[in-house]
Structure 1
């Protein structure tokens, strides 16, 4: 989910140009990085109960097995910018594809928990790098009129990957084949590796490396009109010349910029405190707490992936119609209320069939609530509120925060659930969703239909964060 943050919405002469078939196909192929992200995020949920049995894993060890990927992703996101700048967006994705394959093989062949954790760290490196490079590549090869849809497609691929991983786990659950659950991910990893090898470098990166003629050839193959390609090439060159006053220096010197950086960090922390990743990673364990059998719990987890994917698609269609603030507040209310229902049912025991159905319904409602707002809109807002000169720095800070918070939640969830019980744990997550709604009311601006230039002007004029879109 991290890719939306890199989308650029600068005006240029290409704004009204339709996307060419070649640019669209290349964008779709690059978006398969999101599929890999989702597959490796979702697969551990179904495999974990069997891994815990084979390795006699404690709650703490299960937390490390799951969260080690997030730790790797945090580090990967830290180095992704440098790798992408040095070797290109395609070079970074190639490196990620190799790591995806290596990590998958380590996990599938692990004879010790430590080897499994090393494999998960490799997968995390891959996710952190790919989640930066792929959306950036897509944003640099597609025209402005198609850019938002293509970036959103990347997010949809992440949700699809989670769903497919849950289906794979469900089909293999009857035999407890956790090595096959993890090892089968080598197939899409090899396919992704082959696809990356045929992707051309992005024109912007080629210009950054001083390869103007090469950039011109690539851009002409991606645009429907030669004049448009030449105008865009000139625009890229002009913007590269203006990009030196950015990042850390702006953060140190400008308190208004610091406000949006801290807002991005706050939104990412709140997103993780909703409980979504704790549920995605440990869904079978949650259902088992409600007396579902192991196989039934894993199939119920597949429903979670289906709802997450479907409602992410709905969110993509609604975000520019309903606006950010109303959709985000509605999302917080639905998610918080449904988690409160989960907590109450778990506190009452949820031993009857009707109670189990109700609990499953509340869990699916929570996932639906998250998917329509708290999930995709956080990344959209983190991109939109950052000024042009400091966008890469601000987005980088929020992305690293997301992974660190993700690691902290996924690492401690089994311990918290084991100590306080499932009911109190989900009631706590319900309270955090309520807090997220208050944070939205107090600090989040409405950015629907507002240009990035207007948001930036209002920010540096000292307007309150929630008024930046007015």
Structure 2
């Protein structure tokens, strides 16, 4: 799946850089959009399945780190390539990175969980486990393989116990890999709270307005700093640095706690941004508030949506839940991108107030209902089995 998405990136990026007209650019970007959506779905699941339990949180944050690095690189490339012809080179860079992934793909390990689902005695799966976990002792390798098998079987048993009454209908909705279909996911009351949590956190990641800063940074920083491109690059740098901080703390803190810290901190920053744009504070305060807003985002709402779904769901539901939550995420991303210019035009300094409302609602949900997951709590203590 990862290689297919890389191939789509190569096709789309190459077509964009060679596009003769805007229609061709639009169609090429549509292909790149499909690849982005697929990569966003495959990435978190793959990282979760190849990670040892002790590194699952940190590896989940790597997804967000790769996104923030990509944004920063794009900002830096905009300095020399923000010209009438430079955009072709910038689009071509997409194809170059994906081409590098295809070349390096032989170094990628197959998911041991997927291999063991196909064959419990798979030697390839045990070789992969030994490689990615640095194991040499045969007994340790076998114990690790059996642990993966046990977790997979427990997922299926727990799901079956809650659905015996509809066993025939539900079984028909599963795909060839034994994963549940979308309608089964929404009908199973035992995963109602995890599903609501996954959807809310994924949508809040976009509806908090973070991409309004990145998509329209030049517009936003106009009047705040002399060169808006410098402000954009500063925000991109903060974005990467605080994702690295999150990488260090993700294995030590619960997800609920980080979401509460992130949403409350961003809420405060939104208020300061609005007051600064209204003239109550000097421009430097607005710039500092925007950077702090991005920093706090990367401590919670940035990385957690990519890693919390595999922590909330068993193997039966995880692929479907990731797809559903990321679909909601991308739809909200599109909504923010389309609406912010109009909000900026008609609401002016108050354009960040709706995002502040979303952040307050997110904090209240996390405080009152969100199940805790993280380094000290596994999926079986994260709300699965709770009927709503």
**TM class, shorter-length:** 0.7 to 0.9
Give the TM-score, by structure 1 length: 0.69
1:278 and 2:278 are equivalent in the alignment: no
1:100 and 2:9 are equivalent in the alignment: yes
| 1:114-263 equivalence runs, <5 A | 114-173=23-82, 177-210=86-119, 212-222=122-132, 223-240=135-152, 245=160, 247-248=180-181, 251=185, 254-263=188-197
Change (3 A) 1:115 1:316: same
1:328–1:374: 8 Å Cα contact kept in structure 2? yes
Change (3 A) 1:389 1:189: closer
1:207–1:237: 8 Å Cα contact kept in structure 2? yes
1:146, 1:453 → 2: CA distance? 15
Please, which of 438, 441, 460 is the counterpart of residue 385 of structure 2? 460
- Cα RMSD (Å): 3.0
Query: Which string of whole-angstrom CA distances, capped at 9 and with x for unpartnered residues, describes residues 280-325 of structure 1?
Result: 122112112x3656xx212211111111111122223234445434
Change (3 A) 1:258 1:335: same
1:320, 1:197 → 2: CA distance? 29
1:173–1:298: 8 Å Cα contact kept in structure 2? no
1:343–1:424: 8 Å Cα contact kept in structure 2? yes
1:327–1:373: 8 Å Cα contact kept in structure 2? yes
1:147, 1:449 → 2: CA distance? 9
Partner of residue 341, structure 2: 414
Change (3 A) 1:120 1:377: same
Query: Which string of whole-angstrom CA distances, capped at 9 and with x for unpartnered residues, describes residues 321-361 of structure 1?
Result: 4543443223222212222222233344x9xxx93333222
Partner of residue 351, structure 2: 425
2:112–2:126: 8 Å Cα contact kept in structure 1? yes
Please, which of 242, 247, 260 is the counterpart of residue 329 of structure 1? 260
1:94–1:193: 8 Å Cα contact kept in structure 2? yes
Partner of residue 165, structure 2: none
2:58–2:250: 8 Å Cα contact kept in structure 1? no
- 5+ residue gaps in structure 2? 161-178
- 5+ residue gaps in structure 1? 1-91, 465-470
Change (3 A) 1:266 1:139: closer
Change (3 A) 1:118 1:363: same
1:273, 1:441 → 2: CA distance? 19
Please, which of 283, 294, 313 is the counterpart of residue 356 of structure 1? 283
2:307, 2:45 → 1: CA distance? 14
| 1:275-314 equivalence runs, <5 A | 275-288=209-222, 290=223, 292=225, 296-314=227-245
Q: The residue matched to 1:392 in structure 2 has which SS? A: helix
Partner of residue 440, structure 1: 366
1:101, 1:362 → 2: CA distance? 38
Change (3 A) 1:124 1:362: same
1:170–1:302: 8 Å Cα contact kept in structure 2? no
Partner of residue 276, structure 2: 345
1:356, 1:321 → 2: CA distance? 36
Partner of residue 385, structure 1: 312
Partner of residue 173, structure 2: none
1:389, 1:142 → 2: CA distance? 18
1:405 and 2:338 are equivalent in the alignment: no
Change (3 A) 1:150 1:408: same
